[in-house]
Amino acid sequence: MSENKIHDAAPASDTLLDVRHLKQYFDINMGFFRSKPLKAVDDVSFAIKKGETLGLVGESGCGKTTVGRTILHLYKPTAGEIWYDGKLLKTKEDIHEFRKKATMVFQDPYSSLNPRMTVSDIVGEPLDVHKLYKTKQEREERILELMGYVGLNSEHASRYAHEFSGGQRQRIGIARALAVNPEFIVCDEPVSALDVSIQAQVINMFGDLQDRLGLTYLFIAHDLLVVRHISDRIAVMYLGKMVELADADEIYNRPLHPYSKSLLSAVPLPDPKAARANKRIVLHGDIPSPLNAPSGCPFRTRCPYATAQCAESMPEFKEVEKGHFVACHRLAEIN
């Protein structure tokens, strides 16, 4: 998709969120009155349809959490456009309205909940902020309804967050996120701090809530098995850039970018025969710092196929097959 094509066209009617050329740079103080931009998110574009889950994956530090936070304007975007339900978010009023429809579930259920507040206070806080009830009784009923959505009962309402396990705390966080009756939720690694046995329960709950409440998710994670279970489509990020985007099954069965291939080769397979046949693609070298990102394609310093062209220019993130976007100069030779 060329830059002009992205900018000229209005979002499709079934598109809920449309992110165009999003950039998020942080100025880092280098001493002696010098600063340097850290390019956490560098020219990222994607769209999410209504009722869909887009999984966003990549190694730690690739910028995926920053994408989620910037969309919700927890950080002011350095550049780019964010369209929501066909409307460009520009003014403070736009963003205020958007925040009533969009919310976030945070990674760590231990630090994202206030230990001095009861479950009832935590879940009810967004109701108070946005004045979403008329009477005290209406507020109480809504809190119990939200708790019921996530498998908590009325006896839990007067207890404090520290009295609960990690999985239950995350359920409290999800109930709080649902309080504003959102359409869109950014799930920022919501199961990575939980035991594996609890992860499946929470993932299934996200699926049930999506069906029941018509939710749309941006699901951020580094665990590809978790992402596959819940996502309709998957986007792969590396060092602030989007390198591949396609249907979940397509990414799993036929990844085209060398970085995606490496990530998927590391996913454990339950079938011993398939696991033995699976060739692990080991990447050499460390991820470069976003402060000193390589010229051209950011992956070239670890890519076994890199050439001089890869150092000269960043490959265009383009649609190579219907619905399958990739950014790689050497796509034809590799696949």
pLDDT in tens, 165-223: 989 999 999 999 999 999 999 999 999 888 888 999 999 999 999 999 999 999 999 88
Distance CA 116, CA 271 (A): 47
- Identify the CA nearest to 315 among candidates 306, 324, 249, 219: 306
Distance CA 207, CA 56 (A): 16
Strand segments, DSSP code E, in the chain are: 15-31, 34-49, 53-57, 79-84, 87-88, 102-105, 184-188, 216-221, 233-238, 241-247, 318-321, 324-326
83: three-class secondary structure by DSSP: strand
**Hey, what amino acid is at 205?**
M
Provide the residue count of the chain: 335
- Identify the CA nearest to 327 among candidates 260, 252, 227: 260
**Hey, what amino acid is at 165?**
S
User: Per-residue pLDDT for the chain (335 aa), expressed as one digit of tens each?
Assistant: 444 344 456 777 899 999 999 999 999 998 888 899 999 999 999 999 999 999 999 988 899 999 999 999 999 999 999 999 999 999 999 999 998 899 999 988 888 888 889 999 999 999 999 889 999 999 999 999 999 999 999 999 999 988 999 899 999 999 999 999 999 999 999 998 888 889 999 999 999 999 999 999 999 998 888 898 899 999 999 999 999 999 999 999 999 999 999 998 877 766 677 667 677 777 877 788 888 889 999 999 999 999 999 999 999 999 999 999 999 999 988 88
Distance CA 188, CA 103 (A): 11
Read off the pTM.
0.91
E strand or H helix that includes residue 211? helix 196-213
